[in-house]
């Protein structure tokens, strides 16, 4: 009797694990094959070989790029090289990426930049918020950009228990922001379990010097976050759920969900075009290839443009799709005046004329 019961339990457990595994593979869209969508006028950006994970472009055409991310379980082509912030002037006919100098006193050796966001203050000061993972911890660094000498002055490091596993930020002012925590656990084995069991413990936090609170929860992997040009709506990419959540922002900074847009790809960072209000997503067509890197069969790249997200039928256009022979693991796409920049988690970056 005891033996039978034991066997039955093992059987149920095995069935459960197989079911979870199938579900996880489907979350990663593991069997997805990529149909290429080409863009004719693209070139790789010189000097970017080890990632361009997030990009934010100022209304004047200056593009900030975070490079050199080290993230648990993901590939890095330069694991011992500190990360950096690059700048490109998209008004230049043949723009180059240059490294921004960072003011003394900031620990450059452990710099591991991830999501970034700019904020222009009423006096035209430009603030750059950077998610950082020194020793795989999470902080948000606030810099002031000095255009005269292409440098960043470090203003402060923000740490908080609610900012435990930050992926991306969107700046709301010189000292407050929303941030996504992409996972609950920080140890590899627990992270895998969290994804495997689809716990949905990833969330969004509002931070200001006087108040820090969770404003949205229940995501499988909250990744990119951004805000509409009128600053009324907040967009959150849930990568493992293949969706973008449209949230309404309230005066007390709380968020309520308006709608969820389902996609068939793993959306990473979101960039909003300030002129057209279109949302651009850097996406991972196949999450398994990203997690288990194989140079013979690398992760591909995919860029989506979403128009009229608030309407009953938003238009989703696949602008670019490539199998990884040119660009591996696209994480962001940003536009400025007919030009498109596509960044990647750990690989190169592409500059295209649309």
Ligand X SMILES: *[C@@H]1O[C@H](CO)[C@@H](O)[C@H](O)[C@H]1NC(C)=O
Footprint on this chain of ligand X (rule: CB under 6 A): 26, 29, 32-33, 36, 242, 250, 252, 254, 264, 297, 323, 325
Count Cα atoms within 13 angstroms, Cβ side, for 335: 19
- State which residue, 57 or 283, has the beta carbon closest to ligand X: 283
- State which residue, 228 or 254, has the beta carbon closest to ligand X: 254
| Least Å from the CB of residue 250 to ligand X | 4
| Least Å from the CB of residue 72 to ligand X | 24
Say how many C-beta atoms besides its own lie within 10 A of residue 217's C-beta.
13
Q: Which helix (H) or strand (E) holds 139?
A: strand 139-146
DSSP string, 255-271: EEEEEEEE-SSEEEEEE
Catalytic residue among 114, 133, 242, 245: 114
| Least Å from the CB of residue 284 to ligand X | 11
Q: What distance in Å separates the CA atoms of residue 116 and residue 169, rounded to the nearest whole number? A: 6
- State which residue, 26 or 91, has the beta carbon closest to ligand X: 26
Compute the chain's Rg from CA coordinates: 20
| Least Å from the CB of residue 262 to ligand X | 8
| Least Å from the CB of residue 195 to ligand X | 15
- State which residue, 224 or 324, has the beta carbon closest to ligand X: 324
Instruction: From 249, 237, 248, 316, select the one nearest 284 (Cα to Cα).
Output: 237
- State which residue, 5 or 251, has the beta carbon closest to ligand X: 251
Instruction: From 223, 208, 100, select the one nearest 169 (Cα to Cα).
Output: 223
Sign of CA pseudo-dihedral 280, 285, 291, 292: negative
Q: Which helix (H) or strand (E) holds 222?
A: strand 222-227
- State which residue, 32 or 245, has the beta carbon closest to ligand X: 32
Q: What distance in Å separates the CA atoms of residue 200 and residue 195, rounded to the nearest whole number? A: 8
Residue 246 in contact with residue 254, Cβ under 8 Å?
no
Does 114 participate in catalysis according to the annotation?
A: yes
Count Cα atoms within 13 angstroms, Cβ side, for 37: 10
| Least Å from the CB of residue 280 to ligand X | 20
- The catalytic site residues sit at 114
């Amino acid at each position: 009797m005891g033996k039978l019961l034991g066997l039955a339990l093992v059987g149920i457990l095995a069935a459960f694990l197989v079911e979870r595994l199938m579900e996880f593979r489907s979350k990663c869209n593991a069997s997805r094959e990529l149909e290429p969508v080409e863009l004719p006028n693209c070139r790789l950006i010189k000097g970017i070989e080890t990632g361009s994970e997030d990009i934010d472009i100022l209304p004047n055409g200056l593009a900030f790029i975070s490079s050199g991310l080290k993230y648990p379980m993901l590939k890095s082509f330069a694991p011992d090289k500190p990360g950096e912030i690059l700048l490109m002037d998209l008004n230049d006919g043949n723009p180059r990426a240059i490294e921004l100098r960072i003011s003394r006193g900031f620990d450059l050796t452990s710099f591991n930049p991830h999501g970034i966001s700019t904020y222009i203050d009423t006096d035209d000061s430009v603030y750059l918020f950077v998610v950082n993972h020194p020793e795989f911890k999470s902080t948000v660094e606030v810099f002031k950009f000095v255009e005269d000498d292409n440098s960043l002055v470090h203003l402060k490091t923000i740490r908080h228990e609610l900012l435990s596993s930050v992926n991306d930020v969107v700046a709301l002012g010189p000292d407050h922001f929303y941030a996504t925590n992409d996972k609950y656990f920080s140890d590899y084995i627990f992270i895998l379990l969290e994804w495997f069991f689809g716990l949905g413990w990833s969330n969004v936090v509002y931070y200001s010097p006087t108040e820090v609170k969770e404003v949205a929860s229940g995501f499988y992997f909250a990744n990119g976050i951004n805000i509409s040009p009128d600053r009324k709506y907040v967009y959150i990419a849930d990568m493992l759920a293949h969706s973008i959540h449209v949230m309404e922002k309230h005066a007390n900074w709380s968020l309520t969900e308006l709608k969820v847009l389902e996609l068939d790809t793993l959306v990473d960072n979101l960039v909003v075009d300030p002129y057209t209000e279109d949302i651009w997503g850097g996406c991972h067509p196949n999450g398994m290839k990203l997690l288990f890197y194989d140079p013979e069969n690398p992760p591909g790249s995919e860029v989506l443009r979403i128009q009229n997200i608030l309407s009953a039928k938003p238009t989703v256009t696949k602008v670019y799709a490539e199998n990884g022979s040119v660009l591996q693991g696209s994480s962001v796409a940003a536009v400025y005046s007919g030009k498109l920049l596509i960044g990647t988690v750990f690989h190169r970056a592409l500059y295209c004329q649309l």
